[in-house]
Structure 1
Amino acid sequence: MDEQDEERIILGLTLRAKGGDVDAAKLLFAEKAKRVRPVRFQECQSLDELKIEFETYMGMDDITRAESEHAAKAFDRLFKLITVRDEAQKQAAAATMNISGLLLVPFTDPISWEAMAEKSQAALRVHARN
């Protein structure tokens, strides 16, 4: 069945429901309850954007129960994904900060390198013993 056939059937049911046919009205109501408008939560990149989109969608005047359940499930799924993604980014940034430190090399003349190396080795031995 294509869209034209579907529209023709819905139009016929609407006319019959307006004429007083209770069964046609029940069919229209059940069909409308099944339809779910698309949720645009996938485009959200942050929790703030997701919250705004969810509130906008749930605040529509003619939202159905199926649409609200669908939106709640999509919100929960995307909330978890964004939270996990953000936490992974924070952990990666923290790991990068721990790994990549600045190495300060003092400027000295080559004659004092040997004395500095011996001093550094002695400090390492003391540290290793403690």
Structure 2
Amino acid sequence: MTDDEKAIRQVVETWMAASKAGDIATVLSLMTDDVVFMVPGQEPFGKEAFATASESMGDTRIEGTNEIIELQIIGNWAFTRNRIEMTATPSAGAPIRRSGYTLTLLHKESDGKWRLARDANLLTLSQKS
């Protein structure tokens, strides 16, 4: 495994750990300034909208897994295809389970760090197992 592949896998691991911990600042640090997210039923949105949505979740507890199915590196760009299972449990409410795939583009920036630049998230509601 190359150093770049290790670094990209670390970005994915750090993202999941920070999401579970409610550490929005760390998650935001893993994104490029011009990041674009695409999710079903919404117009594409960027870092500011992501931060606002994350902050509005309050004390919602996040649990889940993120398995890298494919990882390809092409110069200073890379993509991952991931399988995600996640559950978001609001402080007052029933758990919401989502699962599915994402296609993520990462960019190695001038500081040598890989950051998420584009993300197509295809998670859908899933039934309780």
TM (norm. structure 2) is: 0.23
* Higher percent of residues as helix: 1
TM (norm. structure 1) is: 0.23
* Higher percent of residues as strand: 2
